[in-house]
Amino acid sequence: DVVEDYPEGQPFAVNAWTLERGCRWEDDATSPQAYLEEEDVVYGEGGWKLSCDALWPERDKSISFIGFTPIEAFGACTLAEGVTCTYDMLQAQTDIMYTDPQTYVDKVECGGIVIMPFRHALCQVDFEVKNRVAKNEEIIIKSIKIDGVKHTGSFRSLPEPTWTVEGEPVCLTFFEGNQYTRNVPDRIGGTWLTIPQALDTNVSVEYEYRTAANTGFTATLKTCQLQTNLKPGRHYTYTLSVGIDD
């Protein structure tokens, strides 16, 4: 897996709870006490810092954090469900990120620094295209669409990160225009931030075939079934190999 750097220009928020030493987060998620609620964390000289003047709790308590960004994308952050949100990928293409609970943090043991490894709630989907025709023939791509993708859903990060997809599948357009192809894969069109789900659909490809004599035709064909279990945090690139009639 590729480890990304968190973007310096993107603030995030944290919620935090204190817990008496000797108590376990896993045993009783109702006993911790709220300590920070949607407090901004911003990047400045020396690194990431809270925008408020919060102090560490007493030494007889540990503290647990959950981070999330962008703040406005989430409906709530609670001990029972973690961060929650509803998302419509047709209305917003927002990279939703969050952390697992960073539990039992102690100021002395951590040196006053809290490590916040973020996870992506969504995945990414895009396309490459190549042709399978002779050098004096051409394949020109007109459009690429996935026929059926569910675009709305609800997310919760606890007790396990879970998406509940909703509604009827819609057609997602990845490319419209005119792109000449080569016999090696090239990127084409845009990338969709997509709700993780089990795909069982086709890709529709409209293309123009041209001969050396400048004759040809335009056609729209469908691929075999895409049966992919899209998982959060993954980047899926499908490569289309387009011939004269397939």
Reading across the β-sheet that carries 123-131, which strands appear in turn?
A: 186-194, 123-131, 235-242
The CA distance from 85 to 107, in Å, is 31
pLDDT at 154 over 70: yes
pLDDT at 27 over 90: no
Q: By C-alpha distance, which of 110, 103, 98, 108 is closest to 161?
A: 98
Contact 227, 124 (CB under 8 A): no
Tell me: the pLDDT tens digits for 34-58?
Answer: 999 999 999 988 789 999 989 999 9
Average pLDDT score, the chain: 93
The CA distance from 25 to 22, in Å, is 10
Tell me: the pLDDT tens digits for 213-235?
Answer: 999 999 999 999 999 999 999 99
Tell me: the pLDDT tens digits for 78-95?
Answer: 988 999 999 999 999 999
Residue 31, pLDDT score: 76
Q: By C-alpha distance, which of 32, 38, 36, 39 is closest to 61?
A: 32
Question: 1 falls in which pLDDT band (50, 70, 90)?
Answer: low
pLDDT at 208 over 90: yes
